[in-house]
Structure 1
């Protein structure tokens, strides 16, 4: 088996490639993956509200929801739209 000589330039290139791969892996893991549908406890935590407040928001139609088999689901995108629409002192573009 023939010996292969590794130069400092080879090691430097390997180091750069390895660091780029690690950065890519870390970036992919740290980006939050928002779920499409949230359950009530997740919405309460997201908005920092109580169970009663969430119920009132459902009853008065502020937050749209879907109910299946006794479980209430909220669309994450719709919640973000409601928050955006109800922003106070929002600069008009």
Structure 2
């Protein structure tokens, strides 16, 4: 079981808009059945921490390439992707293995 966390650095003042787009992307992947429910959080400067940052994270049973055969296409992203790219300065992705009962020593 894995936690996948994607962090976006966005243009100043655009965190809430970017978070809205990223949330829509997460919902589209979930509706297509290719990803579990995701959680999106952001900081536009109203809370302590890194400003102009948006994070999306989700849990998956395994790490799989998005280029795998048999993967269900995700529809509805044609307009969202370009909008998000226009707001994004950088992004990173992290992969964390979750501790589960079967992994306990």
**Structure number with bigger Rg:** 1
User: Same fold, TM exceeding 0.5?
Assistant: no
Identify the structure with the greater helix proportion.
1
Question: What TM-score range do you get, normalising by the shorter chain?
Answer: under 0.3
TM-score (norm 1): 0.24
Identify the structure with the greater strand proportion.
2
TM-score (norm 2): 0.22
